[in-house]
Amino acid sequence: MSVSLPAVTDLLELLDLDQIKPDAFLGNGPDFGWGRIYGGQVVAQALRAAARTVSDEYRPHSLHAYFVRGGNEKRPVLYEVQRVRDGKSFVTRQVVAYQENGAILNLIASFQIVEHDEDVQSVQMPIVAHPEALPDVQHDAFLQHRRIELVGMGAHGQGWLRTLQALPDDPMVQACALAYLSDEDALGVALEPHSRAGDWDSLMTASLDHAVWFHRPFRADDWLLFDIDGHGVANARGLAFGRVFDRSGVHVASVAQEALGRTRR
């Protein structure tokens, strides 16, 4: 897509995709001056495009995405949806995101009807400072971030995140907003075990793939704790897994990301 559109100014505008033909949507983003599109943007917009082809009784339960190449933040993104399966309980969609140089993201999302069965939480939220007791991390990406400083914890990151603006009650919008937030800290934690971690000018970095599982209802416009562990680096790749809790301690989602961390030569 070589056409230019006005830059969006908030998250709801970012998620308001234009349908240009059946199962094809055009999305635009902000111009932060980063050059590349923030990965959470294309994941959130791809999930939103998939959701636009699904009936209201379904909710997203997982997504798995591959970042194919870096996107240009000054250009819109075309999202083409393939209806892989429509079942009674589950619906599957594949989304490919394109810019003028080709595909930049390939995402598959699964949606499920709400089922009333056992609900057992086996993990507990760590004891951490409340978000009100922490300073904001300077950020301009439509989100509010308050990081918990950890000492001697190795490849481990904790932080409270929420959207800057209030969101509608629509569970699909809330899920897309969490997908947007989920890309904020994962890369840094995944590459923390690297000997050059922190000296980012000496590393070529990029998100390679990303996954989110949605477990329980939540609000992305209220504080969510992202508790993320790095699992080492090998073959120029680092891996991180995270659990997401609401402020009452409910485990609402899980995330995973693999990141490229190649030493510049």
E strand or H helix at 96: strand 90-99
Pick the catalytic residue: 41, 158, 174, 257? 257
257 is an active site residue? yes
Please provide the size of the chain in residues: 265
Q: How many CB atoms lie within 10 A of CB 40?
A: 24
Q: For residue 118, which amino acid is it?
A: E
Pick the catalytic residue: 45, 185, 207, 227? 207
119 is an active site residue? no
Distances (CA, A) of 134 to 24, 130, 145, 146: 42, 7, 9, 6
Q: Do residues 216 and 250 touch, judged by C-beta distance below 8 A?
A: yes
**DSSP bridge pairs for 146:** 160
| Sign of CA pseudo-dihedral 206, 74, 23, 59 | positive
Pick the catalytic residue: 158, 183, 185, 246? 183
The region that residue 42 occupies, defined by phi over 0 for left and psi between -120 and 50 for alpha, beta otherwise, is alpha
Q: Do residues 256 and 198 touch, judged by C-beta distance below 8 A?
A: no
207 is an active site residue? yes
The region that residue 179 occupies, defined by phi over 0 for left and psi between -120 and 50 for alpha, beta otherwise, is alpha
Q: What are the tokens at 217? A: 């209802």
Catalytic residues: 183, 207, 257
